[in-house]
Structure formats: structure tokens, C-alpha cells
Amino acid sequence: MKIAVLDWYTVNISGDISTDMLRELGEVRIIPLTKPEDTAANIGDADIVLCNKVLITREVIDSCPNLKYIGLFATGYNNVDVAYAAEKGITVCNAGQYSTNAVAQQVFAYILDHFSRVRDYDTAVKNGEWERFPSFSYFPIPTGELAGKTLSVVGFGSIGQRVAQLGDAFGMNIIASSRTKRDTPYRWADLDSAVREADVLTFHCPLTEQTKELINAELLGKMKKNAIIINTSRGGVVNEPDLAAALNCGTIAGAYLDVLVNEPMSPDTPLKYAKNCVITPHTAWAAFETRSRLVSIVCSNIRAWMNGSPTNKVN
């Protein structure tokens, strides 16, 4: 089997993940990044194409007659025309639940950053403020305990559930809200209640027509003024101008974002200099262990497909 990997750089930016597992499966061609106009040429006569964000459109599929399998280094698959792939007999498989622990961990890195203010106190210490203070303890920056705070989790798949478990371990009051109700020990509520009651409002939902720009002026206006919002789902869930305006005028206390509408970040995004807005460059999933697990799942998917029993098939 010939395998074309179109954007290996998105999985392996630092060169710490071996390609050995992939090479055990066939003749592999590694391409660091693929421009849209080069997609069909980079796939060439490959039987299998693997990608993360590269668009696999109807036109690309028609230009690659040998293509039999599309594997994704991701849970989302909106970059692939899955319906047309099915029509052409091409199997599409994603990599679900590889990043659950890493994303949940980053959510709590954000939460602890806000309530414990470690960065701010480190800056104060290095600026000499503690040295100049007469008492043994210097605490002009307000901090807070997580116990007793309300954590509203919107989207209750594997990541949302893990975030809820961590919040519960910290003694937080958990509210779960999602399109599909699940069996859970936590309180279930509609979105309006989850938003209004949250001290921390975190989003773990897919990007759909229903969730596009769900975080907008109307939703933000329902939040407590001292609440924070977290988005590690998809950038398009946020109306960025509305969020920037809410932050700059103090409608909410802060925002932590790992995803934006345009990635890499556009220089003119309204959130770049918004008040109390922390942005990380889509790193929640990027721990070494997480990326290693991702590649392992992708390879397992290919083996299962080769054996006639595809796993994680999305079409």
C-alpha cells in the first residue's frame, strides 16, 4: 500500500514522534505541510492518505483514482467530503478520544491560572515587590478556592465528562449541558441555566450550524460579571468581536482560548489585545503522550481497515 501523509508537521513539529509505525504499514511518503493547490499532486497514486487539516474535497477525490482510505489525525472530520468519499467507496476514519486527558488538563491549567494567579505573583516577586513588603506574606492580588464554585460544562462527550470529574475532585459544583442528555452523577441543565449559574463556563462541543457563534453577545450578557469562559472546542463556536467587546467592557471577568476562528491566528483578531484574555496556540492536544497515542490510533485504524473491519469509521 502506498501511503501519503499530507501534513505531518501538524503532528510532529519537534520531530519527537517516530514514523516507524507508519512505515510498517506500507510505502510511506511524508510531506510536512500541503498547500491546497498541491493536495491532489501530493496524494498522487497513493492508496491511503493521512491528514490533519488538509481539505479533501470532491475535486481532490476525483483527481486521485487510486485513493481507497482517508485517515485523520484528528477527531473532527469537517475537512473531508465524507459523503462523496462514501459514494466513491472510500473509507474515512477519525481518531476519537485520543486527547481527552490532555485537553481536560489544559482546561484546569486555565482555571487554576485564574483562581491561583501564579503567573501574576511570580511577576510581582521578580519585580521586587515581596522584597519591599514588611510582612512575611504578600497577597494584594485576589485569589480564590475552586471548592464551592460552579463549573458548567457545555458538551458532554469524553472530554466534557473528564473535565467534570476533575472539577468534582476539586469540590466544584458541576452542571452538565449538552444536546444529548447522558447518564451522569452531575446536575443536568439547559444551556441558559448553565450559563447564568457558572463561575467557570467551559465548552467542549463540536462546530455545527447549531453551535456556530454560540458564544455571542446574548450568551455573554447572561453570565456573572466575575465568571470566566473557556473554549478548547472549535474557534467557530465563538463570535470573536462579541467576546472581545464583553471582555473590554467588563461583562465577564476573563476568557481562556486554545482555538480561534482563523488558525494560525490572524494579526487583526479582535481578541489579541482584549482585556483578561489568555490565548494559547491550539496546544491543548499537543502533549507528547497524546500525539503518540494519536499516531497509534491512526495506525490501528489502518490495520483494522486492511483486515476488513474498519474502526472509527465516520462515513
Positions marked active-site? 234, 263, 282
Contact yes or no for 6/43 (Cβ under 8 A): yes
Backbone angles phi, psi at 200, to 5 degrees: -130, 125
Measured in Å, how far apart are the chain's first and last C-alpha atoms? 21
Contact yes or no for 237/207 (Cβ under 8 A): yes
- The rounded distance, in Å, linking the Cα atoms of 61 and 39 is 10
Element holding 71 (H helix, E strand): strand 69-72
User: If DSSP states are collapsed to H, E and C, what string results for 253-300?
Assistant: CEEEECCCCCCCCCCCCCCCCCCCEEECCCCCCCCHHHHHHHHHHHHH
- The rounded distance, in Å, linking the Cα atoms of 163 and 264 is 26
